[in-house]
Chains A and B, each alone.
Chain A
Amino acid sequence: MKVLIIDDERGILKMYTEYFKATGIESFQAIDGQTGIKIAREQKPDVILLDIIMPRYNGLDVLKDIKSDQDLKNIPVFLLTNLPEESSGDKAKELGASGYLVKAQYEPKMIVDVIRGAIKENSI
């Protein structure tokens, strides 16, 4: 399984990378949306974890661009943010997000459970 994480917090990137490495999941990191889309085109990940509040190019715009890109639109994208679901959940759903996860409530292990479930569902 290949996972791409797009987040402007280096600590968050490091935390998930450590967990993915320890559990044998191949992961790629991007510190902003533009780098994220570039890596997504090159690596074709099975799932993308995407933060919302990022400078210049926010997560909802990145999601919109991913979902309008013919090569990327079928990759499940999970918004992984600390914004409450009430503030951006509807917009994320409307743009085609596969899920909305609040970072503080999902430990790395829980996130892997969620994305494994999504990939399994996607392959069925």
Chain B
Amino acid sequence: MSSVTSWLRQLFERILIRVWAWLQKTPVAPGGPRDSRQPTDNVMRTMNLVMPLKDKTAIGRAQAALVIGSSLDEIYSGLDNVGTVHMARFTIVDNNLLMFSFYDGDFHAYIRDFIMTLGNAFDGVVGLIEDPPPLPCWQHVDAFIEWVHQRDAFQLPDDPGTMIDVVAPNLDNLEDLSRYLVLQLDKNRNVQLGAYRAYPGYSVAQVRQRLGVGW
């Protein structure tokens, strides 16, 4: 397919999606893990925080690298003190600063503990991001939690049954599933498609205790 044909096709698809978005209203799906009362759903939960950089040049990326790099002690110490984080990493992808993590327990408690223990370092980080939350973050905890929640990527369920429940609860024709999915991903551009766990169902505390490395 030539580049012109490809461009025309994508233009047509964009128009078609806008028409369907008007015909079939689809709400923005909340980011982060879905509510669950199941015990093992509440450990090793995932956060995929997507933060668009204000400055989309290499200067902006370098600023982010410097801020994160100069705060690593503070970040690592803070995450240690939060105590429920299995893994967290900062990455820049296409001018978005990403913070991906696996954590245990309630999202609000995680973010609250997180910002109370490393709020100073995070103030420097969010200062480089579009539409930052009120600063200092640790003095505006509820606003910060909501800010993170809005930027935490939607999580597509791993299995088809739950995926239909979440994306297409009113589906009555399986052929239309692809349209429901397209319209949901039109509303939620950032999406987690799967998250592998080597030891599902165990908290940080259990893992550290069983490894004998102290808790």
State yes or no: do A and B come from one complex: no
Q: State the B residues within 8 Å of A (CB).
A: none
Q: Please list the residues of chain A having a beta carbon within 8 angstroms of any beta carbon in chain B.
A: none
